Structure 1
Amino acid sequence: MAQPTPEAISDAQYSGGPLPDGQSAIAVVVQVLLDRAGISPGVIDGYRGPMSESALRAFETREGMSADGVMDQAVWEALGGPGHEPVMQSYTITEEDAAGLSDTLPEDYAELAELDQLGYTSVAEKLAERFHMDEGFLRDLNSGASFAPGETITVAAPGADVSAEVARIEVRKDVTRVAAFDASGRMVANYPATVGSGQLPSPSGTHEVTAVAIDPTYTYDPDKNFKQGDNDKVLVLPPGPNGPVGSVWIDLSKPTYGIHGTSEPDSLFQSQSHGCVRLTNWDANELAQMVGQGVTVEFVGGDS
């Protein structure tokens, strides 16, 4: 199947049935509509993959539908598909977009600890995160673009962040998603996540948010968490979206555990965390604006 073009995405029509296998223009449309509905598909990339299917199930659950994760006419209508606003938009790159970038970052924590920031390493990476997109998809969509200031490119139009006051969070380990609820019990947002691993599982039971840090530093302590490479001493890594906890840390009452961002948003369903709950940076930022100290965080389902 051909790579979706901006024109194909603009012209895409839902004609019934499941989303096509692989990558498609209509899948891009559905991912953007899910994002606008507060049900994050993770990275917008046009693929009918596990993250998109889990987002469809979350949306169906919230809307009281049969939660099979399969696109159908009822879901299309509930998403506002008929007559939806354009899901793509033009964006002109600014000088600010090209400022404050980091050079290629080493993997070794001791080397990272010597830097001033762990920033984006390219304009494309920065804009992909801003518009909730997979970086490769952004580049493919703008084939031939140099991503230089003054250049106009095509990006997704995911819409404004969800604005609500979250009273309770569920970390759903069995489906690897995080659901946020307001005081009335309505699910206001739902995000794909990486939740623990076999060696370092996420906690169980109920805990609380104790603090929220935007653009946090990261303290590496091999005696408390995990061992990275040959590093056996405590290290403080500088802030930045490409740090181990991304651009947000939501601290939990369970010591050393938190909900945080990630430097690799496309790997959420393909990798494991060191016990914490990892979201895309943009989803973690959105959640951080809706929570405060004392919000309940309940880990449910599964053992990992």
Structure 2
Amino acid sequence: MNRFVKLSFILAMTATVSALALSEAQAQYYRGGNGNTVLVTPDGRILEQYPDGGGYSMARDGRGRRVLVDTYGNVVATEMRASTYYPKAPARDAYNDNGYGNGGRYGDTQLSNNGGYRDYRQYRTDGYGQQDQDIVTGGIPRDGDIQRQPLDDQPMPGKSPNQMNSTGNDYASIDPQQGTPDIIRKPQPADPVITLKGKSKMEITALEVFLARQGISPGAIDGRMGANVTKAIYAYQQMTGQTLDPNNTDAILEQLRMSGGMPIINYTITAADAAGPYVASIPEDYAAKSQMPSLGYTSTTEMLAERFHMDEGYLKALNPGVDFTVPGNTIKVVNTGPAKIGAVAKILADKGRKQVFAYDANGTLIAAYPASIGSADTPSPSGTVTVERVAFNPGYTYNPKINFQQGVNDKVLNIPPGPNGPVGTVWMALSKPTYGIHGTPDPSRIGKSQSHGCVRLTNWDATELAKMVKPGVVVEFVD
């Protein structure tokens, strides 16, 4: 018995010493400024050393990279090659106050063309100077864990459940005395046709960006004159009472110059952009989706395309030969400007035109979006309903008995949140059960495909609309 206890004690001590040696080796590895790899945090910082304290473990993300996670499954940092970030790691200078030569902290700088260093932190934005904190774009390792919240009781980001009001959300409801504004809709051609005269992709892009800046979304910007752009032109004329000539590129460029600058700008890929983390792929089967910890972006190009309201293929075409995974690389993106703001009092969902119109309390059109609205098999509601609640980055509960049949799945499935989830990054629940206005994992198909009865928008359009909506807003479906 004594021999057994002694043996157990020796084995336990050996395991403890090994674990401590591993932690110390990792700490020395990063503390010593190893030039091969660096740990990049989700906000783009590079860790100088392995985090102190316990509760951390290493996992693999969808691209096979080592990911440091805490006990709750949150990503702390992603291990990446230092050569991806810097041509050569700065040499350590014992006489420098911050411990590294050439000035600036190792991990927060990049070599500029003149050999100096520039601060990475100036690029940690959405392209317009601020980040949108409401959308969760990253994933977590496959062996991590997530906590799902029911849509009914989900608070707004950054607020605790005890800050919610008695109705189960933290939005103020529309004042019943306010009433619903009368909407005067100007007649539009039954089959509107607009012909462009030899316009290039760049000129069509300028038209799309101009419309987007006015609050009239053309959907995913792709440099093509499609149905979504045509609908947006007519919506602009309805909004302003002015006729827009899409062939007058000079006038469009002049208006762009006065409203935020040229339609194409340069953007420098940041460390956070490259680090992700990303998931390897998104399965079609809902049962497989339900087993994933997150339905995040699958690549840097997919994430950047959504951030800049672009078709992913068009983003790649604008930047031939560019490696989007390398921080410091400069790419061309469209400049749609800041999101539309205001207070929406009524939403009109036009099934025939596959378009959503948002009006203020005076009946003035303030925004319009291309949409996928219902299908012959699963039609959208008719008549009038109201918005009941809004949730950002929601999970999704699939129930074949009350939703639709997906593949061979005949059981209730809880599908995790993420921009590639069935409802994208936003869910605006309507008073008719199971119906809502939401985002999508396929932004380039909006307005060109059908939905399962709900109103589907691009993730960025759904987010913009959701921030202007309160529970109680009337949604009218028209044919």
TM-score, length of structure 1 as denominator length: 0.88
- Secondary structure at the aligned position of 1:71 is classed as coil
2:299 alignment counterpart: 122
After superposition, the C-alpha distances for 1:137-194 in whole angstroms (9 at most, x for unaligned) are 0000000011022211110000000010111100011111000011111111100000
2:269 matched residue in structure 1: 93
Q: Work out whether 1:29 is the aligned partner of 2:206.
A: yes
Match of 1:143 in 2: 320
| Alpha-carbon offset, residue 81 of structure 1 | 5.0
Contact in 2 for aligned 1:226/1:274 (Cα 8 Å): yes
Q: Does residue 300 in structure 1 map to residue 475 in structure 2? A: no
Say whether residues 1:223 and 2:398 are aligned partners. no
Paired AA for residue 93 in structure 1: I
Tell me, yes or no, if structure 1 residue 102 matches structure 2 residue 275.
Answer: no
Unaligned runs of 5+ in 2: 1-193
| Counterparts of 1:82 and 1:152, CA distance in 2 | 22
Deviation at 1:77, TM superposition (A): 6.0
Could you say if the C-alpha distance between residues 167 and 75 of structure 1 is closer, same or farther in structure 2, counting changes exceeding 3 Å?
farther
Counterpart of 2:299 in structure 1: which amino acid? S
Give the secondary-structure state (helix, strand or coil) at the position aligned to 1:174. Answer: coil
Report which stretch shifted further, 198-207 or 56-65: 56-65
- Bigger drift between 223-232 and 78-87 goes to 78-87
1:50 is aligned to 227
Aligned counterparts of 1:194 and 1:206: Cα–Cα separation in 2: 18
Counterpart residue number, 1:62: 239
Give identity over the alignment, percent: 49
Cα displacement (A) at 1:62: 1.3
Measure, in 1, the Cα distance between the counterparts of 2:198 and 2:444. 18
Q: Give the letter aligned to residue 271 of structure 1.
A: S
Q: Which residue of 1 aligns with 2:375?
A: 197
Is residue 238 from structure 1 mapped to residue 416 from structure 2 by the alignment?
yes
Structure 1 residue identity aligned to 2:273: D
Q: Give me the whole-angstrom Cα distance separating, in 2, the residues matched to 1:222 and 1:22.
A: 47
Further displaced range: 82-91 or 248-257: 82-91
Give the SS at the match of 2:196.
coil
Deviations 1:66-94, CA, capped at 9 Å, x for gaps:
6xx86255995699257562111111111
Contact 2:295–2:416, Cα closer than 8 Å, also in 1: yes
- Segments of 4+ moved more than 3 angstroms: 20-23, 72-79, 81-84
- Rg larger in structure: 2
Alignment-mate amino acid for residue 212 of structure 2: D
Q: Secondary structure at the match of 2:460?
A: helix
> SS of 2:237's equivalent?
helix
> Does 1:80 pair with 2:255?
yes
Query: Deviation per CA, 1:123-148, whole angstroms, max 9, x where unpaired?
Result: 00000000000000000000001102
Letter in 2 for 1:278: R
Aligned to 2:158: none
C-alpha contact 1:260 1:284 (8 A) present in aligned 2: yes
Closer, same or farther in 2 for the Cα pair 1:181/1:153, shift >3 Å? same
Q: Which residue of 1 aligns with 2:456?
A: 278
Q: Distance in 1 between matches of 2:257 and 2:328?
A: 34
Give me the whole-angstrom Cα distance separating, in 1, the residues matched to 2:404 and 2:239.
37
Structure 1 unmatched runs, 5+: 1-16
Deviates more, 1:36-45 or 1:149-158: 149-158
Q: Within the alignment, does 1:152 sit opposite 2:330 as a pair?
A: yes
Alignment of 1:158-177 (within 5 A): 158-177=336-355
Counterpart check, 1:247 vs 2:425: yes
Is the Cα–Cα contact under 8 Å of residues 207 and 252 in structure 2 kept in the other structure? no
Pairing partner for 1:259 from 416, 431, 437: 437
Structure 2 Cα separation of the partners of residues 190 and 75 of structure 1 = 25
Change (3 A) 1:217 1:223: same
Contact between 1:176 and 1:193, CA under 8 Å: does it hold in 2?
Answer: yes
Cα root mean square deviation, aligned: 2.1
Q: Which secondary structure state, in structure 2, belongs to the residue aligned with residue 96 of structure 1?
A: helix
2:404 is matched by which residue type in structure 1? F
Change (3 A) 1:94 1:201: same
Question: How far apart, in 2, do the equivalents of 1:256 and 1:43 lie?
Answer: 27
Kindly indicate whether residue 349 of structure 2 is the aligned counterpart of residue 186 of structure 1: no
User: How many residues matched?
Assistant: 283
